[in-house]
Structure 1
């Protein structure tokens, strides 16, 4: 690779990073502001009282409604702060149920917004993630109740920092730092992806995984980006998928399947570790979540093939290609 070619490589990487970051920021910045206002006016507390009866249906104390509501509208870290401030003890089974529900449905305003940008309908994103969380929670509750397993008290082995922004200025600085970190991560991801393309590893990975992902209806073009979302988070994998969707490189139905999978199964490493420290069972939050997501998306993928090309497919997804 000559000097001029190297310069072009880095210029292309930076340009692609800026495009992806702008796409993410257009969703994230307005949503962060709206969620802050919603939270300040008591919207999260109101919603928690609305879903409290559902907590009992999955075997959780009603107080966990506020924890899950915080996760849905804000993020996992904020939900953990709420959790450790509730004077309620839970069994390992209950901690596992709550953790799985949080893992499937959290940071919804931003992540549903990203899904919409990729062409996936808002109602579908909400249904699969909130509905999927309740379904998995209910299935786990039935399993634990029938077997009597994991009934010992859950132990929180780590507590998140209790420091919160005391002013709008402090909150704003914190959000700005997060946005800068997002850009740095995006640059690193795209740099690695482009390197993989140059040396041909991307093709080898896609070839190895394509038979498995094909069963879920995810094309080899979306393989690497889907894996990034699964391991690092929907914001990163989703942002890259949006970029490819706008270029028309990946068919809309493949984007739909990939985004649906990422909604249920993303940030598999970091988020799993977070749930472990509040006493959840690893088998439930890792393997249970993994199997549930793959089975559900596999079924959805088969059903979506029945409406492929039909007029009402737009109820679920649409093309966002600008080319």
Structure 2
């Protein structure tokens, strides 16, 4: 047991180090921008997009960090929202948008290498994030679903907006310690799921769903890996398999569109649940929308074969 925990700890430290390299610079940049008044200047420029999804302008800066750097970059900017009266729906909307569209420069480069257009899949992720945010916001506004106040204690612990630099450093260190504990828990959970066969059963359960969306049977297994574990894994497998097997451009585009919109369902979903997002919004609804959009994309490519040339590389 000691050896097992030590091995998981080493893995967690490796992941955490990668996180620190991303998160800490973003946290410092956001803090400096706040001190210099740049946040107040930038927020109005982002307000139109955020208004569409029912979020305050400051949330746009969090999503901007997510789009360019990644999930953990967005987490580094989350303290900007700590003192705002956010609802559970708003936290869930922002979290879902972060999950759908993040690290676009890096991840869409992988997608392009695997066989789909960088710009088309990037636009698909951005547009889907805004569309989904608007849908959830409209449903919440009409029904009161998830309209209760969100628990922002963790956001305040990450870095209080009115703290001086010493307080900010202390609270930031505490938030990173909490994040490390979450990572350790996720690493152990993923390993136990793998050892117990749960991951294999989830993979088998997902494959019929993927085929309903229009994916071919031979693409479903490698797509499932990306959906569960991440775009890097799934895209890498598709690159490898494409060299060994004759996948059609349409098959690659559909598989990569699926992975682009819904990937790392276990790890990334666990991260945003820790900040108060609703499971139905960030997981069930996101996967359902992905299924519908990929099915629509498959139908479009069947009706307009020329579209395959626009979307593939």
Residue of structure 2 equivalent to 1:82: 77
Deviations 1:257-302 (A, max 9, x none): 0100111110001111111111111111111111111111111111
Residues 57 and 305 from structure 1, CA distance in 2 versus in 1: closer, same or farther, beyond 3 angstroms? same
Name the CA distance, whole Å, in 2 between partners of 1:50 and 1:259. 32
Unaligned runs of 5+ in 1: 1-31, 163-184, 186-191, 193-201, 319-323
Unaligned runs of 5+ in 2: 1-21, 160-186, 188-193, 195-199
Structure with bigger helix share is: 2
Name the CA distance, whole Å, in 2 between partners of 1:205 and 1:280. 22
Structure 2 counterparts to residues 53-132 of structure 1, below 5 A:
53-86=48-81, 87-132=83-128
Q: Is the 8 A contact 2:249 2:308 kept in 1?
A: no
Structure 2 counterparts to residues 167-182 of structure 1, below 5 A:
none
Pick from 146, 151, 160 the counterpart of residue 155 of structure 1.
151
Q: Is the 8 A contact 2:207 2:221 kept in 1?
A: no
Q: CA deviation at 1:207?
A: 8.7
Name the CA distance, whole Å, in 2 between partners of 1:208 and 1:89. 39
Residue of structure 1 equivalent to 2:141: 145
Residues 129 and 206 from structure 1, CA distance in 2 versus in 1: closer, same or farther, beyond 3 angstroms? closer
Residue of structure 2 equivalent to 1:287: 284
Residues 158 and 119 from structure 1, CA distance in 2 versus in 1: closer, same or farther, beyond 3 angstroms? same
For normalisation by structure 1, the TM-score amounts to 0.66
Pick from 218, 237, 242 the counterpart of residue 215 of structure 2.
218
Cα-Cα RMSD: 3.3
Name the CA distance, whole Å, in 1 between partners of 2:232 and 2:132. 23
For normalisation by structure 2, the TM-score amounts to 0.68
Name the CA distance, whole Å, in 1 between partners of 2:128 and 2:228. 20
Deviates further, 66-75 or 216-225: 216-225
Residue of structure 1 equivalent to 2:182: none
Residues 210 and 69 from structure 1, CA distance in 2 versus in 1: closer, same or farther, beyond 3 angstroms? closer
Residues 73 and 283 from structure 1, CA distance in 2 versus in 1: closer, same or farther, beyond 3 angstroms? same
Q: CA deviation at 1:212?
A: 4.1
